[in-house]
Every structure is written in structure tokens, then in C-alpha cells.
Chains A and B, each alone.
Chain A
Amino acid sequence: MLEDLILTVLMTSVPLVYAATGELIVERSGVLNLGVEGMMLMGAVSAFGIAMVSGSLVLGVIAGGLAGMLTAALFGILVLGFATNQVATGLALTIFGAGLSGLLGAPLIGHAIEGLPVLRIPFLSELPTVGKLVFSHDLMAYGAVILVAAVAYFLKRTRAGLVLRAIGDNHDSAHALGYSVLGVRFMAVLFGGLMAGFGGAYLPLMLTPHWAEGMTAGRGWIALALVVFASWMPWRVLVGALIFGGITIMQLAGQARGWTIPSQFLSMLPYLATIVVLVLISRNREFSLANSPACLGRAFHAGK
């Protein structure tokens, strides 16, 4: 029983890990994209539509990622090409994504598909407890952990990661050194869109295999909060997503067990926890700013 609950926590965290890790890369390059929710919705509707029509979940996942990336490209062109305000453009992207996904998804209402299958590993999946908790997931869940590891390695150990961080911290110096600030940022924005699309795709492909308008229900915003929560460190995103998922599931389980705490308060808990951690992190200025990209949200003009 406890195993089932933990399994639920892991699954509910997966889309957050994808979307937040993608946004982490975007922000590390110095761009603030508040449109995660919109990109996730575009990913979700495309993934479901393609999976339903083609019957292939893999194609669905790919379509979800590409749709997120395409939505992000729009953001990138506006913000990087025309140097529009990042906050306003990001908000507009969320509204745009919500509206367009609703329009595209209208014919998909009322249809269901089979969800992603669990990957059975011979022998390992049969182990007691560990088999169920560690070796009985779908491909995307394993992918989430691999993604975090890869992003952590990329940022810390690779030259390209160093360039990305340099651009996020001081775009003028990076430009003076000859790096293409806008080029790198555009790639980062595309990557962020791809990951948000994957995260969105996980909802209708795995968590609840149907499409409903606005089905992300604010998870894109949680992903954004997680990036700050994680103080721009990849592994902390994973931890944060698990904490968030854990509290979400705990409050549901608590209700089912008849805990005498108002359900409204329990529903609020995950968000409250996020705020508390944000306050705790922000108290220590050195700590909170250590990894914070100095150029976050600032437009870059090559001429100056």
C-alpha cells in the first residue's frame, strides 16, 4: 500500500521534472520564459492527438516535445529577435498556448487511449519493494532522471555548459569574447520548449489518458517556482519535484484516512511549502544568488 503511494508520488513528479529542468536551462542562459504552462498545454494536446491518430505513444511523445519547441520558438523570435519584454511575452505565451490548445483539442474531447506501458525488466522488476519502486516505471520516468543527470553534467563539466552560464551571467562579456549570445539563448529557449512539451505530454499519455482543456491546471507555474526553489541547480529540481509531489499525495492520502485537518488547508499545503522554502532560501542572500543568473530577464542588444 505504501509502495503504491510512493509510486504515485514518483509519477506525479515526472512532468514537473521535465518542465522545470527545461526552464532551468533557459534561465541559466539569462532568459525568463513564463510561458511554461502554455508550452506544456501545447505539448499535451499534440501528444494526445498524435498518439490517438497514429496509435503510437512514441510518436505522441515526440509530437508533444516538438509542439512545445515550436511554441518556444515563437517566444524566442519575439524576445530575442525583437527584444520584446520577456515577462509580458512569456505571459502572452501562456495565454496563447491555453487558447490554441483548447481550439486544437476540441475534436479530441471524449476520446481515450491506452497509457504508456510500464517497462518490465527481467529479474529486477520481480524484486520485492525495490522491484516495484525502482524497476517498474515507464520510459519517460526513467528519462526524467537521466535528463537531470545529463543537464547537471552539461552545466558543470562541459565547455558548452560554461558558455551557457557565462552568457546568463554577463552577456556583454560573453559577446565581447565572441560568443553568439542570441544564438545560444535561442537554443536554450528551444530546449526549454522541448522539455515543457515532454512534461505536458506525460499528462495525457500516462497520468490520465485523455485530453481535457487546461489539463495542466497550473503545473507550469509550479515548474517555474521549482527552478527558483532549486536555486538553479538540476539535482535540486528533482528533489523539489519529489517534495512537491509527496505533499500533494500526502494530503490526498490524509483525507482518505480521515485526518481532521480542513481539506482546503491540505490542498494549499504544496503551495505553502514552496513559499516557505523560497523564504528560507532567500534569507541567505549569498546562497540564493550563488547560482542565480545575473542577466536573467534582461534583453541583450549587441550594439551597446
Chain B
Amino acid sequence: MKHLLKGIAVGLAALAVSTGAAMAEPLKVGFLYLGTPGDHGWTYAHELARQKVEAHFGDKVETTFVENVPEGPDAARVTRELANTGHDIIFGTSFGFMDPMLKVSKDFPEVKFEHITGYKRSANMATGNIRFYEGRYVQGIVAGMMTKTNKIGYIAPFPIPEAYQGLNAFAIGMREANPDAEIMVIWANTWEDPVKEADAAKVLVAQGADVMAQHTDTPAMLQIAEKAGLHGFGQASDMKKFAPNAQLFSSVNDWSHYYIEKIQQVMDGTWSTGEGPDHWAGNTWKGMADDYLVLSAFENMPADVKAAAEKAAAKIEGGYNIFTGPIKDNKGNVVVKAGEALNDGTLWSDIFFYAEGIQGEMPG
């Protein structure tokens, strides 16, 4: 059903794209959105960044965005349509656009493609991402200090590398602050289902959690925390409005720096996908130090917790690698040896473990 709906949206959007006025002068920038800015999370953050791009470049750019692009063959059609209508650089803002964009990129060697959160590249397709896990390390420290029951609830999306990076970074931070705290994880197997997220939060509260974190997109969990007089962290955008007394802080995605940097490179003729053995060389994967990830104000916490959070944030901005050994999994096995650390490449391959402090068994 959703696919049918999206198909119609794509058809209409493609029509709009093809009839759009084509001015020769400004650089044409295209965006593929997975959803609509109405999610108040992932796509919303991309839309805010697109608006900042327009504000920054003024009439030097002309932006086009297509909402509700389904992951799969339809994404290839939309990408091709954008490339055909003279767009100079195209940003695909969801993991599932990777293969379709890769395919299309080979047919349009003069167009630049930027794919977000994926790992495949071509001569004219680069990769961009945010180090979301950095914010979760700070969340872990705050959660460890705030909890009275030593039970932390964590609502995870799908068991993919990005989710494990976040969960493990959270656990490492939490255990640094409080060696007795434990994390109860619920994999929601969705990015956005407010009712399910609320149900998961209620279940976590019923099992004794007094601080909750989420990797899913809606403010549902925070609203439950607010009602129960507990605490939690927001995701992707600042969710303070939904939980003025419960939100400790939100990790906010700011894609505008990445967009502006890349568009400027195209204008200057310096754009490249880079080379090198390191998976991320030449591509973009930045975090708190570059304001790609921004932590909202630390609130509803005592001064010593706030100080610890600020210290941890400063440490990360100074270049500290959270995944520095020794790191043990929750069965006591050493997964990262002392003196070693996971690098950007292994963060995508060697991340499949439950760090100390996470209860239960990994899914699948």
C-alpha cells in the first residue's frame, strides 16, 4: 500500500521535475527524500539543511527535492530523471538509494552523485555520513550518572552497523560513568512507528528503566518518559518541546555543512570521491567536531552530570576514539584489545557485538 502511494508520489514528482523551468545559470542541486519533512526526524533534518543551502548560496543554486522516494528501482528512475533534467549534483538521503544511484551514476559521468549512509562508490559517486554514535557516547555517560535503578532502556531500530555503533558507544560511555548500570534493548524493527515506540517505552518503564535512549525517529518515547516523570534523549532533531522536563538532550543532525561543502567543491571544480585503502578516505564522515552532529542544551540534570557531559563532548571534539580497547563484550570476551581501536573501516565490519553492560543476546 505504501509503495503504491509512493509510486504515485514519485510519478507526480517526476512530472514536476521534468516541467520545471531550466535556467542555465545556477548550479542545479537535486535531493531524494525517503519520506517527507513531516517525520520531524530524519527527512526533516535534510529539508532544514536544504533550506540552509538556499540561504547560503542564494540564486547561485537551484534546488529540487523529491519526497517519498521508495528504496529500490523507483529510486533509479527518480535519480535518472534528475540527472536528465540538468542537475549537476544529486544527493540521495537514504541507505536504500545506494545501488540504484550507483547504477545511474555510471550513465551520467558528468553529474556528481552523493549518497548518504552507504558504502558503495563509483568514479562520480561519493559517500557522506554523520558520526551519530559520538552523541550516544555522551548520552551513555549522562544515563549512567542519572539512573537510580541502574536500568537503562534503549529502543533500537534495525540490527545494522549504524545501530550497533550507537548502542555500543552508549554502553561504553554508560559503563565509564557507572559500572553497575545495565541496558535493556528493544529492537523495534522500524524507524518510525510512534505507537510501537510508545509501547516499547511503557514496557521498559514497567521493567524498571528510569532513563531511556532511542535510535528510532519519533518523540513517542520521550512523551512516555515525561508522563512517568523519568528521563530520556531525543533523536535527529531537538525534541524538547515534547518533553520539557524529561529530555536530557537531543543529538541533532545538521547536514547543511556537508551539503554546502560539497556544492562549493562542484562550483570550484575540486569535487572528488577520493582514493585510498581506508574506506572513508576522500569521503565525508564527520561528527561533533565539525558540527555535523550537534548536541542540544544539557538540561534537567544536576551540575556534576552536566559537567561530565561537557567534558565528554569536549573529549570527542578533541579527536578521542570511543572504540579504543580494551573493550569487552557482555560475555567477558575481549573484542578490541588494549592499545588497539576500531578504525573507520572496521566500525562497519567488526561492530557486531554487545558491549559490556548490554543485557541479552544479539538479534540474528
Contact = CB atoms under 8 A, between A and B. Distances in A.
A262 B363 contact: yes
A185 interface: no
Nearest to A6: B206
Nearest to B361: A260
Given A37-B1, A262-B363, A112 B187 contact: no
B1 A258 contact: no
A219 B194 CA distance: 12
Given A112-B242, A209-B223, A260-B360, A217 B193 contact: yes
A156 interface: no
A258 B364 contact: no
Nearest to A1: B206
A215 B195 contact: yes
Contact of A249 (B2, B185, B197, B203): B203
Interface string B112-148: 0000000000000000000000000000000000000
Interface string A187-211: 0000000000000000100011110
Contacts of B44: 109
B190 to A, nearest CB: 8
A252 B200 contact: yes
B204 interface: yes
A253 interface: yes
A99 B5 contact: yes
Contacts of A5: 203, 206
B226 to A, nearest CB: 9
Contact of A8 (B189, B193, B202): B202
Interface in A43-59: none
Given A1-B206, A102-B36, A258-B360, A249 B199 contact: yes
Contacts of A105: 38
Contact of A95 (B4, B187, B205): B4
A138 interface: no
A213 B186 contact: no
B207 interface: yes
A297 interface: no
A302 to B, nearest CB: 33
B39 A212 contact: yes
B227 interface: yes
B1 A208 contact: no
A128 interface: no
A209 B225 CA distance: 12
B8 interface: yes
Given A95-B4, A208-B223, A1 B194 contact: no
Contacts of A208: 194-195, 197-198, 218, 220, 223-224
Interface residues of B, number: 51
A42 to B, nearest CB: 15
A215 B198 CA distance: 12
B1 A94 contact: yes
A98 B5 contact: yes
A131 interface: no
Interface in B172-189: 184-189
Contacts, number: 135
Given A8-B203, A253-B207, A259-B360, A212 B192 contact: yes
A284 interface: no
A111 interface: yes
B147 to A, nearest CB: 15
Given A102-B36, A264-B364, A110 B241 contact: yes
B286 interface: no
A89 interface: no
Interface residues of A, number: 46
A136 interface: no
A285 interface: no
A173 interface: no
Contact of B199 (A8, A112, A216): A8
A90 to B, nearest CB: 11
A212 B184 contact: no
A111 B219 CA distance: 10
B241 A217 contact: no
A95 B5 contact: yes
A248 B199 contact: yes
A203 B193 CA distance: 11
A161 interface: no
B203 A253 contact: yes
Interface string A1-37: 1001100100010000000000000000000000001
The CB with the most chain B CB atoms within 10 A, among A91, A115, A264, is that of A264
Interface string B74-104: 0000000000000000000000000000000
A294 B22 CA distance: 58
A256 to B, nearest CB: 4
Contact of A258 (B40, B184, B218): B184
A289 interface: no
A8 B197 CA distance: 12
B199 A267 contact: no
24 contacts: A5-B203, A8-B199, A12-B195, A37-B1, A106-B38, A109-B37, A109-B38, A112-B242, A207-B194, A208-B195, A208-B197, A210-B218, A212-B40, A217-B196, A249-B203, A252-B199, A253-B206, A256-B209, A260-B360, A260-B361, A264-B363, A267-B187, A267-B188, A267-B189
Closest 7 CB pairs of A and B: A258-B360, A4-B206, A263-B187, A208-B198, A208-B220, A213-B38, A263-B363
Given A1-B208, A264-B363, 13 more contacts: A4-B206, A106-B36, A112-B219, A208-B195, A210-B194, A213-B38, A253-B206, A255-B187, A256-B184, A257-B207, A260-B361, A267-B188, A267-B189
Interface of B: 1-2, 4-5, 8, 35-40, 44, 153, 159, 184-190, 192-200, 202-209, 218-220, 223-224, 227, 241-242, 359-361, 363-364
